[in-house]
Amino acid sequence: MQLIDTHCHLDFPQFNIDRDSVIERAKNSGITNIIDVGASIESSEAAIALSKQYDFIYAAVGVHPHEADRLKQGDWLLIEKLISQDKVIAVGEVGLDYYRNLSSPARQKDVFKRFILLANKFSLPLIVHCREAEEDVLSLLKDNLNTKAIMHCFSGNEAFLKRCLDLGLYVSFTCNATYKKSDNLRNVISLTPRDRFFLETDAPYLAPQTMRGKRNEPAYLKYLVAELASILKLDEETIADETTKNAKRFFNLERCQ
């Protein structure tokens, strides 16, 4: 099987001890591409550095909503320079998070809108984080987005899925679909058009059920494939083939390679 981990954070300190080994395990498990997704300016810079070190890794540049209050006006010029670098194929991870509110909602919305406009400017896909902020996220996307967008780590209900699909958004699923109490998420997966979703680990977070509580890594994407095959009553090769094609198309990876 050939798989793409469309969202992980290999630049995070959880991988400092054995990052090279984690990446080698990913390659050996059939991961053909990894998108390392920035969560701050520093993280975005590190993601770009990784993409330059490994030919099959690409980067996304963004600032997580938790970090919105830290951004200064002068940071936006640097962010644009980062987005324009080689092997940056998306803007993200950006969005709204009202669950923890580590940055003020007003500031989160201002930063999110500016990143939406940057994705438009550079004609790049947008990777969206949304937690307990569905109405504001959809409103800002509807009013400002002129490019493709993915609702990462989708965990909403059927109604939210429909609204996302109606806006033309894609969704991606993580290994939390393997958790014993994720019946609602598994139902949502069964209702998602097969040409509108792909896979991610969000590593180091959300390890699959058999490793729950441990560090996640791209090689574990195979556990999500097995779960989706069970949910959708398809063989694992079909899941891998379809989600890989969806991700390549969405992120223009065929153009990059």
Give the model confidence (pLDDT) of 73-114 as tens digits: 999 999 999 999 999 999 999 999 999 889 999 999 999 999
- Show Cβ contacts of residue 106 under 8 Å, excluding neighbours closer than 6 positions: none
- Determine what percent of the chain is predicted with pLDDT higher than 70: 99
Which of the 8 DSSP states describes residue 62?
-
DSSP H/E element including 179: none
SS3 content of the chain, % helix, strand, coil (to 5): 50, 15, 35
Per-residue pLDDT band for 256 (boundaries 50, 70, 90) equals: low
For the segment 123-152, the average pLDDT, to the nearest whole number, is 98
For the segment 229-249, the average pLDDT, to the nearest whole number, is 97
pLDDT at res. 257: 55
Look up residue 95 and give its two tokens: 């969005």
Q: Has residue 126 got a pLDDT over 80?
A: yes
169 burial (CB, 10 Å; 0-12 / 13-18 / 19+) is buried
Give the model confidence (pLDDT) of 201-223 as tens digits: 999 999 999 999 999 999 999 99
* Measured distance CA(116)–CA(188) in Å, rounded: 26
* Measured distance CA(239)–CA(226) in Å, rounded: 9
Give the model confidence (pLDDT) of 8-17 as tens digits: 999 999 999 9
For the segment 39-61, the average pLDDT, to the nearest whole number, is 97
Domain 3-256, what architecture? Alpha-Beta Barrel (3.20)
Residue 43 CA: distances (Å) to CA of 8, 62, 217? 12, 9, 17
Q: Has residue 247 got a pLDDT over 70?
A: yes
pLDDT at res. 255: 65
For the segment 237-248, the average pLDDT, to the nearest whole number, is 97
From first CA to last CA, the distance across the chain in angstroms is 19
pLDDT at res. 100: 86
Q: What type of residue is 73?
A: Q
Model confidence, pTM: 0.97
Residue 15 CA: distances (Å) to CA of 38, 139, 151, 167, 204? 15, 36, 25, 36, 8
